[in-house]
A and B are shown apart, each in its own frame.
Chain A
Amino acid sequence: MIGATTVRAESLTRKFGDFVAVDGISFEIHAGEIWGFLGPNGAGKSTTIRMLCGVLQPSAGRAEVLGYDVARDPEAVKTRSGYMSQGSTLWSDLTVEEHMRLYAGLFGMYGAHQRDAVEEWMERIGLAQRRTQLAGSLPGGYRKRLALACTLLHRPQMVFLDEPTSGVDPLSRREFWDLIVHLSEDGTTVMVTTHYLDEAEHCDRLAFIYGGRIIALGAPAELKRAPSAGVTVEILSRENLRILDAVEDAPFVRSASMYGSSLHVTVERSDDVARLQNTIDARGLGVQRLAPITPSLEDVFAGIVKAGRPA
C-alpha cells in the first residue's frame, strides 16, 4: 500500500463571497503517511480539510480520497475516513459512552461489534472511568480524547485531524502523538494540522499554507536544508536583547527571535552571516558565539512568512 496515493487535491479552491480562502491548491498524500498541514490562523487549513471530507463544496477544482471522487461519491469517502473537526464539537447532553455508540452506529457498527469497539476505545483513550459523564462537563483535554476516539472508532483508512491537540496538556499531547504514529505504522494515512512545531517534527511530510496557497512542502529535514529556508545563525551573548534590536530590521535578516537563552537569526544567504557579524560589531556588542546551525521548523517558517514569497 505504501506509495499509493490516498489523497489527491487538484486546484482545490474555495471562495466565501469574494474572499478566496483556499486558492487552487494541489497536493498528494501517500498511503500510511503522516502529512502535517501548517500555517497561520486563517490560512485555509480547516477549509481545505472540510472540502476533502465532503462537508464543504469546492468552488473549483476536485479532490480524490482513497480513490473516490469526493464530489461524486461522498458516501464512499465518508465511510472510509474519519474527521476530527477543529472545535471537536460534541453534544454536551450526551455521555461519553452515548457518543461512542452514536458514532459507531453512524459508521455501520452494530451489536456485539459495536460494543467491543466502544469498550476497546474507551480503554485505549483513558475514558472508561468517565463513560457515564456528560460531554458538556468533561475537561477540555478529555473532550479532545473523546472526539479522537469517535473519529477512530470505525478504523478509517484515512484520518483528518484538525488541531487535535489544541488545549491538551503536554503529557496527553505526547500520548496523542504516540497514537497517531501508531496508526500510521498500521497503514492509516493521517492528515493533521497543528500550531505546535515540535509536533510537526513527527510528520513524514509538511505543507505550509499561507493566504490560501501552499508555499512550502516537503519532509521536515528537507525543508530545513532547502535554500529557500535561508541560513539560521545561533548567537550566544549576554546582550541578546540589544542584538535583537540591532539586527531585526536589517534588510538581509529574514527573521530573528529569542530561542531559549540564545538568539536565532535567519538570513538570506551564507555570505549574509559576515554582514550580520559586522552589524553587531559596529554597535560594540559582545558575542560569545555566532555560528550557523540546523534551523528549527519555527525558524524555517518564520523565515518563509517574512520572505512573503512562495518557496
Chain B
Amino acid sequence: MNWNRVWTIAVKEYTQFFRDRRTVAATMLLPLIQVVLYGYLSTDVRYQPTVVWDLSQTAESRQLLRAFTNSEYFSIKYVARSMNGVVRRIDGGQALAGIVIPPNYATLLHQKKIPKVMVAVDASDATAARTALSVAQAIGSSVTQRMQIKQLQMSGVPAPQVGVDIRARAWYNPGLRQELFLVPGVLALVMQFTMTFLSMSTIVRERELGTLEQLIVSPIRSSELLLGKMLPLMTIGYINVTTILLLAVFWFGVSIAGSVLLLYFTVLVFFFTTLGLGTLISTIAKTYIQAVQLVQFFLLPSMLLSGFIFPVAAMPRVLQWFSYLVPLTYFLTIVRGIIVKGVGIGYLWPQILLLMFFGFVVFATAVLRFRKRID
C-alpha cells in the first residue's frame, strides 16, 4: 500500500466533492432535513389537544381535569358547552380527545356512587388513540383509588395496604417521545443511503466519463484507488453523524444515554457495509441510471426490514429471517441501544460482531469484483 498515492486520490476526491456546491448542499442538508421532518411530522403522542365539556363545574371536576393535564398526555385546548361542541372539535380534527363530565359528578362522589365520565378519542391515528385511552383509564383508576383512600382516612380507618400494584412503564423512553426513537433511525438511514450512493457514483461516473482509465494507466493499485476514494466519504459520513447528533441534542433536547465513542466506532464498522455495497453496485451496473436503480433495489427492502418503521419482533417469522440478513438491522439495534438505552459493548457485542462480519463479506466481494473489472 503506497500511502502517497492513496493520499493523492483522496485530495482529488475532496477537491471534486467540495467544488460541486450542489452535491455538497444535498449531502450536508439531507440529514438535517430528515431529522427535522421526522422530528416534527411524527405524531408526538403527548399533549394531545383535548376538548372538555364540564357539566359539573365543581372543585371535584376541576381536580379530575387537573389529573388529565398532569399526565402530560392531554392538553385541554377547548371548552365546549354542548355535546355538539365536543363532536365538532373532534370531527374537525382540532381535538383528538373529548372529556365529558356529567352534572352530577360531585354529587355522586359524595353519595359514594360511581360517576361515569366519558372520554372520547379520535382513533384515526391508532397509536395515539390507544395511548390516550390507556392513559385515561389509568387516570380514572388512580383518581378513584386516591379518593377511596381519602374517604377511608376521613372515616378514621388507616390506609389499606394495596395488595397488587401493576404499573405499566415505558422503559428507556418513559415519555414515549418519538424523537428519541427516530434519531437513531434517521442516523442509520442517512448513513446507509448517503454512503452507498456516494461510493457508487464516485466510481460509476468516473467510468462513464472515461477518467477511470486515466487512473488505471497510472501505477496505482486498485486497493489504493478504492481507499483513496473511500476516505473522503468516511469524513463526510462522520460530518453527517455529528450533524444529526448535534441537532438531536440541541434542537430536540434528546440526551444520548450511552457512549458516543462506541457510536462512532460502530459507524466505522458500518462504513464497510455501505461503502462496500456502493462499490459492489458500481461493478454490477453498466450505466449510472442502472446503478441508481440498483441502489434503490437494495436499500428500500433493507429499510423496511431493518426495523426502522416496523419492529422486527412484530414481523412474520420468514420476514424476520430476512431482516437478520440486512446489516442495517444490526446497526439500527446498536445505535438505538447506545442512544436510547445507554447500553454498552457488554450488551451489543453480538450485533457489532455480526455487523463486522457482514461488512467484511460485502467489502471483500466488492474489492475483488472491482479489481477484476479494472484489470
Measured CB to CB, the closest approach of chain A to B226, in angstroms, equals 14
Q: Tell me which residues from 23 to 64 in chain A have a Cβ below 8 Å from any Cβ of chain B.
A: 53-55, 57
Interface string of A256-287 (1 = CB under 8 A from B): 00000000000000000000000000000000
Q: Tell me which residues from 257 to 283 in chain B have a Cβ below 8 Å from any Cβ of chain A.
A: none
> Given contacts A93-B16, A98-B15, A102-B12, are A110 and B217 in contact (CB under 8 A)?
no
Partner of B12, one of A54, A85, A98: A98
Docked complex Cα distance between A90 and B213 (Å):
11
Question: Please, which residues of chain B bring their CB within 8 A of the CB of A103?
Answer: 218
The answer to whether the Cβ of A292 comes within 8 Å of any Cβ in the partner chain is no
> Given contacts A91-B211, A93-B16, are A108 and B4 in contact (CB under 8 A)?
yes
The answer to whether A107 touches B4 (Cβ under 8 A) is no
The answer to whether the Cβ of A105 comes within 8 Å of any Cβ in the partner chain is yes
Question: Please, which residues of chain B bring their CB within 8 A of the CB of A93?
Answer: 16, 19-20
Docked complex Cα distance between A85 and B219 (Å):
16
Question: Please, which residues of chain B bring their CB within 8 A of the CB of A94?
Answer: 12, 15-16, 19
The answer to whether the Cβ of B215 comes within 8 Å of any Cβ in the partner chain is yes
The answer to whether A90 touches B16 (Cβ under 8 A) is no
> Given contacts A105-B7, A106-B8, are A89 and B219 in contact (CB under 8 A)?
no
Question: Please, which residues of chain A bring their CB within 8 A of the CB of B8?
Answer: 101-102, 105-106
The answer to whether B217 touches A53 (Cβ under 8 A) is yes
The answer to whether the Cβ of A79 comes within 8 Å of any Cβ in the partner chain is yes
Can you list 17 A-B pairs with a CB-CB distance of less than 8 A?
A54-B217, A55-B216, A55-B217, A78-B217, A85-B210, A85-B214, A89-B209, A89-B214, A90-B214, A91-B16, A94-B16, A101-B8, A102-B8, A102-B11, A105-B4, A105-B5, A106-B5
Docked complex Cα distance between A106 and B220 (Å):
6
> Given contacts A93-B19, A94-B12, A110-B4, are A57 and B217 in contact (CB under 8 A)?
no
The answer to whether the Cβ of A87 comes within 8 Å of any Cβ in the partner chain is yes
Partner of B210, one of A53, A87, A105: A87
Could you count the A-B residue pairs with CB atoms below 8 Å apart for me: how many are there? Answer: 65
The answer to whether B15 touches A83 (Cβ under 8 A) is no
Interface string of A71-85 (1 = CB under 8 A from B): 000110011000101
Question: Please, which residues of chain B bring their CB within 8 A of the CB of A107?
Answer: 218-219
**Which of chain B's residues has its CB closest to A89's CB?**
B210
Partner of B219, one of A87, A106, A110: A106
Question: Please, which residues of chain A bring their CB within 8 A of the CB of B5?
Answer: 105-106, 108
Docked complex Cα distance between A108 and B218 (Å):
10
Question: Please, which residues of chain A bring their CB within 8 A of the CB of B9?
Answer: 106
> What residues of chain A have their CB less than 8 Å away from a CB belonging to chain B?
53-55, 57, 74-75, 78-79, 83, 85, 87, 89-91, 93-94, 98, 101-103, 105-108, 110
Secondary structure at chain B's binding surface: helix, strand, loop or mixed? helix
Q: Tell me which residues from 106 to 141 in chain B have a Cβ below 8 Å from any Cβ of chain A.
A: none
The answer to whether A106 touches B15 (Cβ under 8 A) is no
The answer to whether A89 touches B16 (Cβ under 8 A) is no
The answer to whether the Cβ of B375 comes within 8 Å of any Cβ in the partner chain is yes
**Which of chain A's residues has its CB closest to B216's CB?**
A55
Measured CB to CB, the closest approach of chain A to B370, in angstroms, equals 15
Interface string of B1-43 (1 = CB under 8 A from A): 0101101110110011001100000000000000000000000
Docked complex Cα distance between A102 and B11 (Å):
8
The answer to whether A55 touches B218 (Cβ under 8 A) is no
Question: Please, which residues of chain A bring their CB within 8 A of the CB of B2?
Answer: 108
The answer to whether A89 touches B7 (Cβ under 8 A) is no
**Which of chain A's residues has its CB closest to B20's CB?**
A93
Measured CB to CB, the closest approach of chain A to B204, in angstroms, equals 15
Question: Please, which residues of chain A bring their CB within 8 A of the CB of B214?
Answer: 85, 89-90
Question: Please, which residues of chain B bring their CB within 8 A of the CB of A83?
Answer: 217
Docked complex Cα distance between A89 and B19 (Å):
19
Interface string of B208-249 (1 = CB under 8 A from A): 011101111111110000000000000000000000000000
Question: Please, which residues of chain A bring their CB within 8 A of the CB of B15?
Answer: 94, 98
Question: Please, which residues of chain B bring their CB within 8 A of the CB of A85?
Answer: 210, 213-214, 217
**Which of chain A's residues has its CB closest to B5's CB?**
A106
The answer to whether A106 touches B218 (Cβ under 8 A) is yes
Measured CB to CB, the closest approach of chain A to B15, in angstroms, equals 6
Docked complex Cα distance between A120 and B47 (Å):
71
Measured CB to CB, the closest approach of chain A to B215, in angstroms, equals 7
Not counting A94-B16, A101-B8, A102-B12, a sample of 13 additional A-B residue pairs whose C-beta atoms are within 8 angstroms of each other reads A54-B217, A78-B218, A85-B210, A87-B210, A89-B214, A91-B16, A91-B209, A93-B16, A94-B12, A105-B7, A106-B9, A108-B5, A108-B219
**Which of chain A's residues has its CB closest to B210's CB?**
A89
The answer to whether B375 touches A57 (Cβ under 8 A) is yes
Question: Please, which residues of chain A bring their CB within 8 A of the CB of B213?
Answer: 55, 85, 89
Question: Please, which residues of chain A bring their CB within 8 A of the CB of B4?
Answer: 105, 108, 110
Q: Tell me which residues from 179 to 215 in chain B have a Cβ below 8 Å from any Cβ of chain A.
A: 209-211, 213-215
Measured CB to CB, the closest approach of chain A to B9, in angstroms, equals 8
Question: Please, which residues of chain B bring their CB within 8 A of the CB of A54?
Answer: 216-217
**Which of chain B's residues has its CB closest to A53's CB?**
B217
Measured CB to CB, the closest approach of chain B to A182, in angstroms, equals 23
Docked complex Cα distance between A207 and B5 (Å):
36
Measured CB to CB, the closest approach of chain A to B87, in angstroms, equals 62
In the A-B complex, the 8 residue pairs with the closest CB atoms? A105-B8, A106-B218, A89-B210, A78-B219, A79-B219, A83-B217, A75-B219, A93-B19
Residue from the set A91, A98, A103 with the largest chain B CB neighbour count within 10 Å: A91
Docked complex Cα distance between A89 and B213 (Å):
9
